[in-house]
Structure 1
Amino acid sequence: MSELNALFRKRIGLPEDEPITFESLERVLEKTAQTIPFENLCIIGKKTYDITSENLVDKILVRKEGGLCYELNSILCFFLIENGFEAVLTRGVVYNNEAQKYLTIGRTHVTILLTHGEQTYLVDTGFGGNLPLKPVPLTGETVSSANGDFRVKKVDTEHGDYVLEMKLRYKDTDWRIGYAFDSRKPISDVTECNEIQKIIAEHEESSFNKHPLLTKRTNGGNLTLTDSSFTQWDHGNMTKEKIDNARYNELLLKHFGQ
């Protein structure tokens, strides 16, 4: 067993001798979402690094940090391949539902396409609080999880040939767009993510280079921490606390171990 495979299993609490099947991916995705936070602390601290498999193992599995989509989905994709799955990374463009338009900073979302039984599925553990927590087929079929309803529709846009749509549990009453992606243009090498990291770290329209943001799943919902607030969703009940820097550091250590 490779170092990556063993360390990933250890990080999310999965036995080394447990085989990973397509049917068990839901459990893997839930454990990953509850263990490895979506967070931008390296971007905020200006401590970015070259995106390589070795550096991802060190950051996420050895130092037990979290990361953004290009880190979280890259390490998960490597893990899936190590366990016999046919998986590739591809890029997408996130949709801003408030402005009713796609972000203009480019194809900065990274997601996974997994092929199983002659069917392709979207797998994503790097979309903040919007995780499907299950493989979503590229057929338009709705998949329901603890986080809501998700579907992938064949829609040709300037950003790709498919669109992820979602209806988050307790939050959305109607379907909304998550992002568009291109299944025809897989990422050939993970180092392509360095271009994405540079945009996210430096672009003035990037939402991740201004304030710290951390979020992860819990048994009943999710936690979201910024430098000014702490929000908890638990079985449909939302509590939000305004915080100062001392409280931020306390919650950072308590809930995210950093």
Structure 2
Amino acid sequence: MATAKPGAENNSTVEKISCTLRQFASQYPFENLDVVTQNTMPITETFLFQKFSQYRGGLCYELNPYLYLQLKEEGYNVKLVSGTISNGNHWALDGTHVLILLDLGDSLWLVDAGFGNQLALSPIQIDGMAVSSAAGSFRARRLQTPKGTHVLEMKSEEHWIIKYAFSLKELPWKKLTDIKEQITFHEKSPFNSSPLIAQCFSDQTLSVTDKQMRVRFSKTGRQKLVKFNDPTEFMKEVKTLFSNSIFEKTSEYMKKAEKHG
């Protein structure tokens, strides 16, 4: 793997975007509440601005397009592409992960704010050096796979594991709504059966479902696992940890779930 370092100008750009990614991740969690409540509104710029102005979060097809719009507005050369998640021995739904590619002229970088709580919180240079965050160590490189020409890998003990594959072809904006529909209704979608709210901070990662909360502290590697005995405990944690709009949307889901048994 290459170990080339970006030049001074690119270093400055990477640090600016890293700062943006850290702020973005602290404000907007990865959450599937629109999916489990079957919100079918199309992904438009207006929809994203309205949703994120309420300090909601979203899935990759919302988080990364919203960040893409911000980066594009600031003058960066960015584009959206799609990828396919690898679940060890099999691939997930084809092309349903959305990510950003940043072109700095002499180098290409992966930017991802929508991969659960497994976030690098920094651009990752393709065929460049690995980067680390509270979630772990990441690298991006060219590798031909059945699902694309490039991969994002995450280190597990001493091994690098493919987390998703992608190609460099730009994703048309209209495809975002198609991806949303697949994630919302496809029988093999991993996000349409129960609520998930996850976040990556500078010193810890957090994951909350209706069954449990898991916190991992990066400095010590220690994990805190809290099992919920009933929905009240789950809702109490959501109210404590997240925005009012997320709490309200979670309440909507819980009422529907209770009604349908």
TM-score by length of 1: 0.85
Counterpart selection for 1:55 from 47, 61, 65:
47
Of residues 64, 70, 83 in structure 2, which corresponds to 1:79? 70
Distance in 2 between the 1:142 and 1:130 partners? 14
3-state DSSP of counterpart to 2:216: strand
1:186 to 170, 176, 179: 170
Contact 2:27/2:55 (8 A) holds in 1? no
CA contact (8 A) 1:140 1:154 kept: no
Higher relative contact order (CA 8 A, sep 6+): 2
**2:86 pairs with 92, 95, 103, which one?**
95
Pair 1:251 & 2:240 matched:
no
Alignment check: 8 A CA contact 1:39 1:66 kept: yes
Which one-letter code corresponds to 1:112 in the other structure? I
SS at match of 1:249: helix
Q: Distance in 1 between matches of 2:130 and 2:201?
A: 23
Instruction: Give the corresponding residue for 1:163.
Output: 151
Question: Which residue of the other structure, out of 132, 147, 150, is the alignment partner of 1:144?
Answer: 132
Secondary structure, counterpart of 1:144 in structure 2: strand
Q: How many residues in Structure 1 have an aligned counterpart in Structure 2?
A: 230
Give the direction of change, closer, same or farther, for the CA distance of 1:91–1:117 in structure 2 (3 Å limit).
same
Contact 1:69 1:127 survives alignment (8 Å): yes
For 1:173-212, list aligned pairs within 5 A.
173-183=158-168, 185-188=169-172, 190-212=173-195
| Structure with the largest fraction of strand | 1
Match of residue 38 from structure 1: 30
Distance in 1 of aligned mates of 2:217 and 2:114: 21
Structure 1 residue 35 displacement after superposition = 1.5
Aligned partner (choices 226, 231, 239) of residue 209 of structure 2: 226
Equivalent position SS for 2:21: helix
Measured after TM superposition, the shift of residue 228 of structure 1 is 0.4
SS in 2 for 1:251: helix
Counterpart CA distance in 1 for 2:131 and 2:215 is 24
Identity of aligned residues (%): 36
Name the CA distance, whole Å, in 2 between partners of 1:146 and 1:203: 32
Structure 2: runs of 5+ lacking an equivalent: 1-11, 248-261
- The equivalent position to 2:117 in structure 1, one of 129, 144, 152, is 129
**Displacement of 1:40:** 0.1
- The one-character-per-residue Cα deviations of 1:56-109 (angstroms, maximum 9, x if unpaired) are 00001x221000000000000000000110000000000002xx2212x21100
Cα deviation, residue 187, structure 1:
1.1
Q: C-alpha displacement at 1:239, in angstroms? A: 0.9
8 A contact 1:37–1:215 mirrored in 2? yes
What SS does the aligned partner of 1:101 have? coil
Aligned to 1:3: none
Matches of 1:69 and 1:48, distance apart in 2 = 16
Counterpart among 49, 56, 59 of residue 65 in structure 1: 56
Deviation at 1:156, TM superposition (A): 1.3
Specify the SS of the correspondent of 1:200: helix
Cα distance per residue 1:100-147 (max 9 Å; x no partner): 2212x2110000000113211000000002111111111143223343
Q: Is the 8 A contact 2:211 2:234 kept in 1?
A: yes
Confirm or deny: 8 A CA contact 2:134 2:202 kept in the other structure. no
Q: Would the aligned equivalents of 1:222 and 1:234 in 2 still touch at CA under 8 Å?
A: yes
Cα shift at 1:200: 0.4
Q: Which amino acid aligns with 2:164?
A: Y
C-alpha contact 2:134 2:217 (8 A) present in aligned 1: no
Match of 1:150, SS? Answer: strand
SS of alignment partner, residue 102 of structure 1: coil
- Report the RMSD for the aligned CA atoms in angstroms: 1.5
